[in-house]
Amino acid sequence: MQGKTEELTNVGLQSYVKNLDQQDQIKLKTYVALKFDKSYLTVNDKFSGRRQFTPAELLALQTIIDNELWRQ
């Protein structure tokens, strides 16, 4: 991420994911799908920009990414 003090946006999130390798993208999306109780396809649509994350989801994603919880 660009910095822990910057607020995550849908566009910033897409940029972050594009910079990950394919294995890490899958790992992040799978983690988020499980934590948000959403289907992988729904989460994938949100990460690709076809759908938008809600402000609450963006806040949760900020924590997940800043703390790299999805890598554990």
In a domain, 3, yes or no: no
In a domain, 24, yes or no: yes
- The confidence score (pLDDT) of residue 6 equals 59
In a domain, 4, yes or no: no
44 closest CA partner among 62, 65, 30, 63: 30
> Quick check: 14 pLDDT over 90?
no
Structural domain including 52 reads 10-67
In a domain, 22, yes or no: yes
First to last CA, the chain: 17
The model's pTM is 0.84
Query: If you average pLDDT over residues 52-63, what whole number do you get?
Result: 93
In a domain, 28, yes or no: yes
Please count the structural domains in the chain. Answer: 1
- The confidence score (pLDDT) of residue 3 equals 46
* Residues 6+ away with beta carbon under 8 Å from 41: none
How far is it, in rounded angstroms, from Cα 59 to Cα 20?
A: 20
> Quick check: 65 pLDDT over 50?
yes
Query: If you average pLDDT over residues 25-53, what whole number do you get?
Result: 96
In a domain, 15, yes or no: yes
